[in-house]
Amino acid sequence: MIRKLVVPKELGEGIEVRLLQWYKAEGDLVGVDEAILEFETDKAIVLVGAKQAGLLRKCFYGAGDWMQTGDVVGWLSDELDEPLPAERDAQAEVLLVSFDAT
């Protein structure tokens, strides 16, 4: 199953964030609650982890890029050979994430 990795909307509607770094590369296995990426808001640095295990299949943004809450930042899947959707906003289950703001 393909799942979207999104900037957590719990940070607030329309909040801009800047991606600081990915802790995983495309093709890497991601464990439950394992750190995937880190970004900053105007108030905090946020570490994001997955609530489900999977393979990080696609990263849409790089370090230094700006995005907003709700934006799709990547795809995770159960299998490496699962075909990915052609469009970033294609229908897919949204992966629940954990996050820790410091």
CATH of the domain at 90: 2.40.50.100
Overall domain count for the chain? 1
Whether the full predicted model's pTM is greater than 0.95, yes or no, is: no
| Full domain range(s) for residue 66 | 2-101
Q: Using one digit for the tens of pLDDT, what is the confidence trace for 15-47?
A: 899 999 999 999 999 998 888 999 998 888 988
pLDDT tens-digit map of 47-101: 888 888 999 999 999 999 999 988 889 999 999 888 888 777 666 665 556 566 6
Termini Cα distance of the chain: 32
Task: Give the pLDDT score at 96.
Answer: 53
Q: Residue 47: enclosing H or E segment and its boundaries?
A: strand 45-50
Per-residue pLDDT, 87: 75
Please give the Cα distance from 8 to 68 (Å, whole number): 9
Are 35 and 56 in contact by the 8 Å Cβ rule? The answer is no
Q: Are 92 and 2 in contact (CB under 8 A)?
A: yes
pLDDT attached to residue 1 = 85
